[in-house]
Chains A and B, each alone.
Chain A
Amino acid sequence: MERPAPSAILAATVTLPEAYDPATCQRLAREIVARGDARLTLHVLASFSSQLLAPYLRIEADRIGLPLEPRLGPFMQFEQEIEAASAPGIRGRHAVLVLMRPEDVDPDLFRYPRAVDVAARLAALRERLLALCRSLRARTEATLLVANAAPLWRSGDAGDPRSLPHAVAEHNRLLAEEVARVTDTHVFDWAGTVADFGASRFTDARLWALGRVVCGHEASVTVARRIARHLGSLFLPRIKCVVLDLDDTLWGGAIGDDGLEGLALGGDYPGSAYKEFQHRLKALSATGVLLAVASKNDEATVRAAMSDHPEMVLRWEDFSAHRVSWDPKPASLRSIARELNLGLESLAFLDDNPVECEAVRAELPEVTVACLGREPLELASLLDEIPGLDRPPPTEEDAARVRSYADDGKRRALHAESPGDYLAKLGMEARVGLAQATTLQRIAQLVAKTNQLNLTTRRHSPERLRALAESPDARVAWLRLKDVYGDLGLVGVAVLVREPASTWRIDSFLLSCRALGRTAEACLLSYLGELAREAGGERLLGEYVATARNAIARDLYAQNGFTALEPAGEVARWELVLGPGALPWSTVVRRAP
């Protein structure tokens, strides 16, 4: 069965989630199992009996559009269960969550906190956790999550370094540092989950006594929701642009009717809620998410409001695209996506008008739609409910990207003047190289999210990419690009794999949409030719796997001198003999040393 369209999920998600009782929970979960459309397998290795979490995990993951299949191992069987969680074939769409609670594996730590060396006991626990991670990492390409520790116990002065609260805080800090060094391994915030629910009512002592089950119904909902959310941030398409309505969304009231003085923004409620919402959006934009406006208004009025209102946090320039007109919203969204070179699935649309929301849902099911309720107070929490807005920590490239899109406006202006030698005037400069520890994170990002100029769309995991980069029989190459307007950063990635008969196969080849139409592909191909020749290669084999999004890449090999071969199944194949003059570097891009 096909995965429901995002709109079908959103009807249930980007409103605040509904409650369900324990009996309904079991029924809902059975319905999800019957649908059989899980997209992810989650292996849980826990120090308690985690079986009862299964229905909750199914429901909460399904809510955000990531139906999963839970595999819950027997409690306390960490080292033993590694075999099951890393059986052959477990890669890509698999995640392993390690929930090792200190109170379960070392109960004396909490029975006799004054008699034992707390810091040393926690260090030993960390050592065991990291050994588990490394052991899993060595055997599987699954994404790993490790839970930190919740300070459930309430004793001692938190300022006293020997006290439990202090020791656990320090333990979590060190754990985060150490886990960050293991590829594609993340810390699941168990401490935050327990605190979020309320530590004093989190555990149900009866369930623990009867079956080593940690928590009851409501706490299980919270745990599953937080796990699903973390998985969503790792596996769902990321929202790259939030498109906002203005009247009764960014401010209270209608600028056309109420005028500048009549707007509710800042001051008392509801104005305070709108201003706070603008601050949230501004913070979001600082993490690399773009903002855009789609409003039915007069542009001059809106520009004046954004520049003249003293309480306005977001100004005209904070938005990367503006559609202020009487066009239908779906048309505005399409046009924004085109201007920013983004796929519709990377847009989230926020509007207070249910009719507009419905129009967008119906016409553009790929777009995440969040419809605001009556109360402006809900604005901020609604933003929290949008799956795909939780990004991993921004890399340097992210910070540069927002600036780069703004520079795109200037680039287009130049294009309009002199389309003929536009490319030459850009003064482009490209640098190419092989993947190293410092570039692998950005490379993995691009591999995970590039859709358009992506020849094979093979979503190699960060771990797999590292293995390829280190293999003598593979090359992971990158390309960085800059021009007179700014640095576009690392925008191209290719993976070469050695095949028999002096042939190197281009397993992956992709360019960020920011770098399209600039002949950067010729530069990257030229570099691949060099790499293959240096390793004694005589032929390049190119592959193309069609997806719904990559038609733009179909003719890449044909345009660069390759000859078509018989396709192998769904893979179209091309060949190029690396003779003199094959794969020339672009004439409008300077090669940086």
Chain B
Amino acid sequence: MNATEVVLDTLASVLGAPRKSLTRASSADDVRGWDSLAVLNVALALEAALGVTFTPTDVADMTSVEVILEILAEKGIA
């Protein structure tokens, strides 16, 4: 499974959003429940799923799928 799919699956299960409603273009502005507290859960779930470790700055920046994918790419996950 590629990084995009893992991210979208994780967002769906952590935020309780329908998987079909999420795309690479989704962001905190258009996904219900994607707030500063929920993003901590998203980060923890991605760490568990992908075996990465985020810095606090990484987590604070996670406001869209695109950004999450960029952060993961920097850590060598695509």
A interface residues (Cβ-Cβ under 8 A, vs B)? 21-24, 26-27, 30, 49, 51-52, 206-207, 209-211, 213, 216-217
Contacts and interface: CB of A to CB of B under 8 A. Distances in A.
B21 interface: no
Contact of B16 (A21, A30, A49): A30
Interface residues of B, number: 19
A23 B37 contact: no
A23 B45 contact: yes
B37 A52 contact: yes
Chain B at the A interface: SS class: helix
21 contacts: A21-B48, A22-B44, A23-B9, A23-B10, A23-B14, A23-B45, A23-B49, A24-B13, A26-B16, A26-B41, A26-B45, A27-B13, A49-B37, A206-B56, A207-B40, A209-B56, A210-B36, A210-B59, A210-B60, A211-B36, A216-B44
Interface of B: 9-10, 13-16, 36-37, 40-41, 44-45, 48-49, 54-56, 59-60
Nearest to B53: A206
B13 A213 contact: no
A29 B14 CA distance: 10
Given A26-B15, A211-B37, A213-B37, 6 more contacts: A21-B49, A22-B44, A22-B48, A23-B10, A23-B45, A210-B36
Contact of B41 (A22, A206, A209): A22
| 8 interchain residue pairs of minimum CB distance | A22-B45, A23-B45, A23-B13, A206-B56, A22-B44, A21-B48, A26-B14, A209-B56
A585 B55 CA distance: 77
A204 to B, nearest CB: 9
Contacts of A30: 16
A206 B47 CA distance: 13
Nearest to B10: A23
Nearest to A206: B56
A544 B36 CA distance: 54
A30 B36 CA distance: 20
Chain A at the B interface: SS class: helix
Nearest to A27: B13
A217 B48 contact: yes
Nearest to A29: B16
B49 to A, nearest CB: 7
Given A211-B40, A217-B48, A26 B13 contact: yes
Nearest to A33: B16
Given A211-B40, A217-B44, A206 B13 contact: no
A211 to B, nearest CB: 6
A210 B59 CA distance: 8
Contact of A51 (B37, B48, B49): B37
A202 to B, nearest CB: 15
A210 B48 contact: no
A164 to B, nearest CB: 27
A291 to B, nearest CB: 43
Nearest to B47: A22
With most chain B CB atoms within 10 A of its CB, the pick from A26, A49, A209 is A26
B54 to A, nearest CB: 7
Given A22-B41, A22-B48, A213-B40, A206 B14 contact: no
Contacts of A51: 37
A438 B35 CA distance: 52
A492 B20 CA distance: 62
Contacts of B48: 21-23, 217
With most chain A CB atoms within 10 A of its CB, the pick from B16, B44, B55, B56 is B44
Nearest to A217: B44
Given A23-B10, A52-B37, A206 B59 contact: yes
Nearest to A22: B45
A206 B10 contact: no
With most chain B CB atoms within 10 A of its CB, the pick from A30, A49, A217 is A217
B31 to A, nearest CB: 14
Nearest to A207: B40
B28 to A, nearest CB: 14
A323 B45 CA distance: 51
Given A23-B13, A26-B13, A52-B37, A210 B56 contact: yes
